[in-house]
């Protein structure tokens, strides 16, 4: 998930400006919705995983990843500003759900004395791998 997140964070502005031909203000609006849509979605994702899935975190995360997959294709194929903003907002809304829920799942399964270390290690490795590969792989995809 970090690969997708960092790939989109890095390449969304460049892709919208160079490939889609959007102005800087149009690109900024799409990027704004991508980032700000995540705030309510993480709260909602925790509520859904507790209320409907009885504390199981991965069904919500799997549903989010499935929707993200289809939204990436919609984002890629859309021509209008409205649909690009819509798909960017949905991707932004859902991209943080699996990340958040994997941290919560780590806290659920690790003994209390090791929670801080486990969540830190998971986050650190996610950032290292995700930032490096996400930026590189999405760059290769953007070139082709």
Query: pTM score, two decimals?
Result: 0.77
Kindly list the domain boundaries of the chain, sorted by start residue: 2-143
Q: Which two tokens stand for residue 129?
A: 């791998």
pLDDT digits (tens, 9 = 90+) for 58-102: 888 889 889 988 998 888 888 888 898 898 889 888 888 888 888
Distance CA 85, CA 27 (A): 9
Q: List all residues 6 or more positions away from 99 whose beta carbon is below 8 Å from its beta carbon.
A: 1, 2, 5, 126
CATH topology of domain 2-143: Growth Hormone; Chain: A; (1.20.1250)
Per-residue confidence band for 142, with pLDDT thresholds at 50, 70 and 90: low
């Amino acid at each position: 998930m970090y690969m997708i997140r960092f790939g989109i964070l890095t390449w969304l502005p460049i892709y919208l400006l160079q490939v889609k031909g959007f102005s800087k203000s149009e690109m900024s609006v799409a990027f704004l919705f991508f980032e700000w849509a995540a705030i309510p979605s993480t709260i909602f994702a925790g509520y859904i995983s507790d209320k409907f899935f009885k504390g199981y975190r991965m069904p919500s995360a799997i549903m989010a990843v499935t929707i993200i997959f289809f939204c990436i294709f919609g984002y890629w194929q859309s021509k209008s500003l409205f649909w690009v903003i819509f798909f960017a907002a949905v991707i932004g809304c859902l991209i943080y759900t699996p990340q958040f829920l994997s941290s919560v799942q780590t806290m659920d399964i690790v003994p209390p004395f090791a929670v801080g270390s486990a969540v830190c290690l998971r986050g650190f490795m996610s950032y290292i791998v995700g930032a490096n590969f996400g930026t590189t792989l999405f760059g290769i995809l953007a070139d082709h």
